[in-house]
């Protein structure tokens, strides 16, 4: 039987989602807890591989088991995992529903604080230099007109295609001046969102202009884009699936 988990985590203390040979990952922590409860080795597959230090307000993962799930599964899981990871739901899905490949979109937000904030330390990127947000939004809009984002992918990455379909990319400015970058696509490349944010910050500072975005994308060269923005400001906030995935959803 295949099940989906819905969870969230603060990524500060983890080497990303995916299990690593020399660092603790969110996947490893969850697999260890789930295997302990079910009393058999149990692997999980996530909807995406968030990088070291990146957070998730909503993440999904699937696992398979023939062992009947205990009624207290969520309570047991949450008692075994650290407080910076929370599992909210577990529900059965069809045999071919896949946490990664069945997903129709991923939606990320990047949070920028315009002043030092001790209550959001580790969750935002503190950036206090002047920024032209109008220009940043004009530049962000250019991403909707392209599909090949090799210029915004980490160089050493094993993918068959650099094509992504971005359907949303814009900056929101809060009344206090803080900024939130919203971006949604069917898929993202390794390091893509942070590279896009870093490049748009260059636009906001006048180092690049709006026309440079098209040039950088068409170059298909990571060296042409800006540096990656720090991980702490980035969060996966929503993963979309067809409604049929949730037909048998149940909560403890």
Q: What amino acid positions are annotated as catalytic residues? A: 51
For tokens 């599909």, name the residue. 147
Contact predicate 208/217, CB 8 Å: no
CA atoms of 183 and 216, how far apart (whole Å): 18
Closest among 38, 46, 116 to 85, alpha carbons compared: 46
The CA dihedral of 37, 235, 106, 175, to the nearest 10 degrees, is: 140
What is the CA angle 53-129-194, rounded to 5?
A: 30
């Amino acid at each position: 039987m295949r099940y989906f988990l819905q969870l969230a985590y603060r990524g500060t203390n983890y080497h990303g989602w995916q299990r690593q040979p020399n660092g603790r990952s969110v996947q490893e922590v969850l697999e260890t807890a789930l295997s302990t409860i079910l009393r058999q080795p149990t692997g999980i597959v996530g909807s995406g591989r968030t990088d070291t230090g990146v957070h998730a307000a909503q993440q999904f993962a699937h696992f398979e088991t023939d062992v009947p799930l205990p009624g207290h599964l969520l309570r047991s899981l949450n008692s075994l995992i650290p407080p910076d990871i929370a599992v909210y739901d577990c529900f059965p899905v069809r045999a071919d529903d896949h946490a990664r490949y069945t997903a129709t979109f991923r939606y990320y937000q990047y949070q920028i604080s315009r002043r030092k904030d001790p209550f959001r330390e580790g969750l935002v990127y503190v950036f206090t230099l002047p920024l032209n947000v109008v220009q940043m939004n004009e530049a962000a809009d250019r991403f909707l007109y392209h599909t090949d984002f090799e210029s915004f992918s980490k160089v050493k990455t094993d993918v068959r295609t650099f094509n992504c379909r971005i359907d949303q990319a814009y900056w929101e400015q809060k009344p206090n001046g803080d900024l939130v970058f919203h971006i949604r696509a069917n898929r993202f490349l390794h390091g893509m969102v942070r590279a896009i944010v870093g490049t748009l910050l260059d636009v906001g500072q006048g180092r690049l202009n709006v026309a440079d975005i098209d040039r950088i994308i068409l170059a298909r060269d990571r060296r042409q884009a800006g540096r990656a923005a720090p991980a702490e400001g980035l969060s996966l906030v929503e993963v979309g699936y067809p409604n049929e995935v949730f037909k048998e959803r149940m909560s403890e």
